[in-house]
Structure 1
Amino acid sequence: MPALVLLGAQWGDEGKGKATDLLGGSVDYVVRYQGGNNAGHTVVVGDQKYALHLLPSGILSPGCTPVIGNGVVIDPSVLFSELNGLNERGVDTSKLLISGNAHIITPYNVTVDKVTERFLGKRKIGTTGRGIGPTYADKINRVGIRIQDLYDESILEQKVEAALDGKNQLLTKVFNRRAIEVGQVVEELLSYADRLKPYVADTVLVLNQALEDDKVVLFEGGQGTLLDIDHGTYPFVTSSNPTAGGACTGAGVGPTKISRVIGILKAYTTRVGSGPFPTELLDADGEALRRIGGERGVTTGRDRRCGWFDAVIARYATRVNGLTDFFLTKLDVLTGWEEIPVCVAYEIDGKRVEELPYSQTDFHHAKPIYENLPGWSEDITKAKSFSDLPKNAQDYVKALEEMSGAPISAIGVGPGRDETIEINSFL
């Protein structure tokens, strides 16, 4: 069945946008199934660079229908800003479909996110402050606002009032902030209704019918595996499930319809925000990776923390996602190092550990055990096939493949759409 899931195999920012865009011309639908505008994808097409936050990367492929699934949380103002930006650059966005069951990030969700994070002080999680977590919390608490609620003003007002009953108590009595008026929120949300309406659809029905008609559907995760609310480095995680199972719940497609799960893996490791990071480099090598790799968050604008490749988390990602393939990105960034360390295991309390510890405490104290692999100095950005790579670069890729537990089927050797070596077709 022609359904593929494409997701991050580390802490996000692995280059999912490039991978999705590469496949976009060959697939009929590209679906975002979780997260919100806390995700960021950079896609380079020719000499044009596009920064996408909420929209599926497939929106840049003319023959593709981009879909925002029910598992996504949507800030309408951000959505419209992103659509306007693409329209001004000549990109056709008219085919976009949005699930009527997707939840809306309301102004009070953003307010609660920011004041709560500030209140935590040194214990802060490192959220983007965009209201993502509070919106998912409202969803689970069954006081959330969905896209379809915009088309019944009475229901919308009742739901906003119910949500603000508790939140205004919190804002005024705990955080010493002013209460938020129900009418003001309802008025703002209703102002989005008319423009949203042409995009709203029963996306579960659309996608399942597409699969029955042998259309190719690509499900695109937002953040990475290690940021999954259940399977990531909790509590330093996102508020949804970017792992492969999230595609089923976030888009309404059964697991038996998914034929391939592709993990995006950077040739080194990065993460944004707080939380443990065993291979993090706080030295000249870390700074070089950041500078050469352009490691700054697309959404946050924050510098990414950088470190050597971690095979332990790669193996973990293979297991929890059932990965069938890897897409290795940014191999070109490693050009110039005489030796490249790779973390093959951890030392925890004097013992060698080769699998990701389930204990938060153990992972926090994990020290990387490295093996050094020979580097290369040749420019690889013009390589069109695996054999075009220097032998040491080939050996590096083979070593990562063996350590990670799934075949590497494509390699990114530069940021451009055409700077990719395809070893095995994903389709």
Structure 2
Amino acid sequence: MSAIVVVDALWGDSGKGKTCAHLARRRNVTLNVRAGAGTNAGTTVVLDDGTQIKARQLPIGWTNPNTRVAVGSGTMVDPEILRAEIERFGLEGRAFVDGRCAVIEPAHIEAERADAHLATTVGSTCSGSGTARADFVLRRARQVRDLPELAPYVLDVAREANRVAARPDETLLVAGSQGTMLSLALSPDYPFTTSANCTAVAAMSDVGLNWRLVTDVVMVVKAMPSRVGEGPLPFELSAAEAIARGIAEYGVNTGRQRRKAERPDFDLLNYAAMLNGATQIALSFCDHYDPAMRGARGADAVTPRIRSLIGEVEAATGAPVTMLDTGPGLSDMIDL
């Protein structure tokens, strides 16, 4: 019996997708299910041959050839993006979506782009995910099961996720979206949040997963946290300094330069660990925090500066750091 939930501790863009891809390969995961608001968050993984994979709807665990992927019923679905990713990644027969997912319509996207509060004040990606969710709450949104063109991909994802997680020889991997501190009902920064909660429990709810089946919550902590859009960012660097240090990042959806911090806020990490019940920590972007870690793949290569950060993160979260992300490549990982 094994169900692993992967969540972001802070404001997203921490490498959850890479963490999921790594776990999918290491654990030979049976099923990787996407949770979260919708297509308002992207993920990027660089394969060992240099191929860059970017996705907004499907989780990235399919990079393990034995892993199927799916979208949980609590996640909004953009039919065009879903079909494009299935085709682009060659996932016919391996990718599924719960028929109860609400559909993101073109009108939802247009409404968000025309909303100055969302586009300017909040800094939304304007993917239509929030407006679709609002229609879903009001019970007037269409669902995936209403679209004949998506019929080949429809599955009761909740039933399949629980079936897989309950089997002694299989593993379920749930991919959370965005970050804990962007949670609609839990962030201290409202209205600078997303349109849903982004905790482990929220991810389980999006998938319909029985909590008794969860064996681990892997919380991804970015060594130099980043944030897209408005809202507080403790220990923030200037955009110019991030560029000068060669650690600037840009959003998958918008192309905007991400705001970047010098280090994590350990009080916020402590709060995130409490909310998520973290059992393991994946410490990501270690090479940005200490360039000497770039591309390291063995525990003997961990630098004193990163070992010091590991100690601080473990003290703040009460959970062990078990993975280190050391570069852009999928194999630039260290298991501790």
TM class, shorter-length: over 0.9
Matched with 1:73 is 76
State the shift of 1:142 in Å.
1.4
State the shift of 1:282 in Å.
2.3
User: Segments of 4+ in structure 1 off by > 3 A?
Assistant: 119-122, 283-289
Matched with 1:57 is 60
Structure 2 counterparts to residues 110-125 of structure 1, below 5 A: 110-116=109-115, 118=116, 124-125=121-122
Q: Structure 1 length normalisation: TM-score? A: 0.74
More strand by percentage? 1
2:239–2:248 CA contact under 8 A, matched in 1: no
2:119–2:126 CA contact under 8 A, matched in 1: no
Matched with 2:5 is 5
State the shift of 1:396 in Å.
2.7
Q: 1:85 aligns with which of 67, 88, 93?
A: 88
Matched with 1:96 is 95
Amino acid at match of 2:160: V
State the shift of 1:312 in Å.
1.8
Matched with 1:383 is 296
State the shift of 1:250 in Å.
0.5
Cα distance in structure 2, aligned partners of 1:212 and 1:135:
32
Matched with 1:21 is 21
Amino acid at match of 1:229: L
Residue 38, structure 1, aligned to residue 37, structure 2:
no
Residue 330, structure 1, aligned to residue 327, structure 2:
no
Residue 238, structure 1, aligned to residue 235, structure 2:
no
Kindly provide the CA deviation profile for residues 172-195 of structure 1, in whole angstroms up to 9, marking residues without a partner as x.
xxxxxxxxxxxxxxxxxxxxx23x
Counting matched residue pairs gives 330
1:103–1:145 CA contact under 8 A, matched in 2: yes
Kindly provide the CA deviation profile for residues 213-238 of structure 1, in whole angstroms up to 9, marking residues without a partner as x.
23200100111111111112221111
Q: Mark the runs of 5 or more structure 1 residues left unpaired by the alignment.
A: 151-192, 337-378
Q: 2:268 aligns with which of 313, 318, 324?
A: 313
Distance verdict in 2 for CA 1:382–1:248, change over 3 Å:
closer
1:59–1:93 CA contact under 8 A, matched in 2: no
Larger RCO (alpha carbons 8 Å, 6+ apart)? 2
Amino acid at match of 1:210: V
Cα distance in structure 2, aligned partners of 1:103 and 1:61:
28
Question: What is the SS of the residue equivalent to 2:89?
Answer: helix
Cα distance in structure 2, aligned partners of 1:121 and 1:64:
36
Structure with greater Cα Rg: 1
Distance verdict in 2 for CA 1:203–1:242, change over 3 Å:
same
Matched with 2:314 is 401
Residue 252, structure 1, aligned to residue 214, structure 2:
no
Cα distance in structure 1, aligned partners of 2:96 and 2:331:
28
Cα distance in structure 1, aligned partners of 2:303 and 2:332:
16
Cα distance in structure 1, aligned partners of 2:303 and 2:62:
35
Distance verdict in 2 for CA 1:386–1:251, change over 3 Å:
same
State the shift of 1:84 in Å.
2.8
Q: Mark the runs of 5 or more structure 2 residues left unpaired by the alignment.
A: none
Q: 1:416 aligns with which of 326, 329, 334?
A: 329
State the shift of 1:120 in Å.
6.6
Structure 2 counterparts to residues 72-221 of structure 1, below 5 A: 72-87=75-90, 92-116=91-115, 118=116, 124-150=121-147, 193-194=148-149, 196-214=150-168, 215-221=170-176
Distance verdict in 2 for CA 1:210–1:266, change over 3 Å:
same
Cα distance in structure 1, aligned partners of 2:112 and 2:161:
33
2:236–2:261 CA contact under 8 A, matched in 1: yes
Give the CA RMSD over aligned residues. 1.8
Amino acid at match of 2:272: A
Cα distance in structure 1, aligned partners of 2:231 and 2:218:
25
Q: Structure 2 length normalisation: TM-score? A: 0.93
Question: What is the SS of the residue equivalent to 2:220?
Answer: strand
